Amino acid sequence: MSKATDPRLLNGLALAYLGDAIYELRVREHLIAQGQTKPNVLHTKATTYVSAKAQAYLIQELMDADHLTEEEIDYFKRGRNAKSYTKAKNTDAQTYSYSTGFEAVMGYLHLTEQSDRLNELTDWCIQAIEER
């Protein structure tokens, strides 16, 4: 792992930037596997999983279920506490910061090549949204 991709050296927003793409890719793969093929339907369905509100809900559920390790919680806090200079769209600042923390965890797991753990959490999150 290079210094540029060492999660210990990256700020929370960089981790969240990557984590956002990783989580959305997993959701898109899930929707395609379900047989969804129409772009409008795919986009609408994906939004229920990847919106800031959904991600804030999911990180809170993961923490309430004690489903995160201490290290994952540390990366969540790093993302949550990062100072973003962009304004949240369609949500409040707290929801946006929790969503950023969620994405930071996904970025951390991807960069540390914890594929099994990343799959476990994304599967858990997808199921949680579908049961909601």
Per-residue pLDDT of the chain (132 residues), as tens digits, is: 655 678 888 999 999 999 999 999 999 999 999 998 899 999 999 999 999 999 999 999 999 999 999 999 999 999 999 987 776 778 898 999 999 999 999 999 999 999 999 999 999 999 999 998
Place of tokens 């991600």: 55
Give percent of the chain with pLDDT exceeding 90: 83
pLDDT on residue 11: 92
CA trace torsion 55, 56, 58, 60 (10° rounding)? 160
- Active-site amino acid positions: 20
pTM, to two decimals: 0.93
Q: What is the pLDDT of residues 89-118, one digit of tens each?
A: 788 989 999 999 999 999 999 999 999 999
Place of tokens 């772009």: 39
- The burial class, CB within 10 Å (0-12 / 13-18 / 19+), for 115 is exposed
Domains in the chain with CATH codes:
3-131 (1.10.1520.10)
CB atoms within 10 A of CB 61: 15
